[in-house]
Amino acid sequence: MHRIRQVVVVCWLILLTGALYLYLFDPVTLKAVLDDMLARPKIVAAAIYLGISCLRGFTLIPSTYFVVAAIPILPPIPLFLLSVLGILVSSASIYLFSEAMKLDEYIERNHKAGIQKVKDAMQRHELPIIVGWSFFPLVPTDVICYVCGTLKVNFKKFLLGILIGEGGICAIYIFLGDNLMRFLSLRG
């Protein structure tokens, strides 16, 4: 699992470096590549993106990578709605199957002290912790989904917290990214 995450990060860095290179030294080619991606049927891109977003949680790869990668391809409002839907499906899957997926062994083995602190705090402040955890970009939302699943936190309260937290951070990424692309004249 760690190896897969490393490969994804390296691929993301290569893509980012290549995009920066094209932007700084060959903006005409970058615009042509983006125009080509945008000319493809949006429904196909949207369906693929939704499928990846729904299954992403089983890989423990953060959704941020996929959201940021999709900003140049999909319009902001559909991307936001698909992202939130995919995150909710993925989070619900982790919650519902947390014991069957054996995530508890992996997560508790690697983050035992942190998991215990979260479990203790969760018993006092469920919703604010779920919202804060899922909004904060430096902690994996999949962990709080697992903890909520094992603690049997109210499912509706759990999904509401994920919706508020992840919805907020996705909105920032997507709409800020869209505005940045417009400012850089990469999107019309």
Supply the DSSP symbol for 101.
T
* CA pair distance 30, 177, nearest whole angstrom: 16
Q: Which two tokens stand for residue 125?
A: 């402040």
- pLDDT the model gives residue 8: 61
- pLDDT the model gives residue 70: 87
Evaluate if pTM is beyond 0.85: no
- pLDDT the model gives residue 147: 82
In 10 A of CB 112, how many CB atoms?
10
DSSP string, 131-182: HHHHH-TTS-HHHHHHHHHHHT--HHHHHHHHHHHHHHHHHHHHHHHHHHHH
E strands in the chain: none
Distance of CA 55 to the CA centre of its chain: 11
Q: Is 60 left (phi over 0), alpha (psi -120 to 50) or beta?
A: left
- pLDDT the model gives residue 15: 67
Rg over alpha carbons for the chain, rounded to the nearest Å, is: 18
- pLDDT the model gives residue 91: 93
Q: Output the tens digit of pLDDT for each of the chain's 188 residues.
A: 566 666 766 766 776 677 677 767 877 776 676 666 667 778 877 888 888 888 887 667 788 888 988 898 889 999 999 999 999 999 998 888 877 666 566 666 777 777 777 778 888 889 999 999 999 988 888 888 888 888 888 999 999 999 999 999 999 999 999 999 889 887 76
* CA pair distance 22, 12, nearest whole angstrom: 15
Where are the domains positioned within the chain?
2-183
How does pLDDT run across 24-38, given as a tens digit for each residue? 787 777 667 666 666
Q: Are 133 and 144 in contact (CB under 8 A)?
A: yes
How does pLDDT run across 150-175, given as a tens digit for each residue? 888 899 999 999 999 999 999 999 99
Q: Which two tokens stand for residue 22?
A: 């094209």
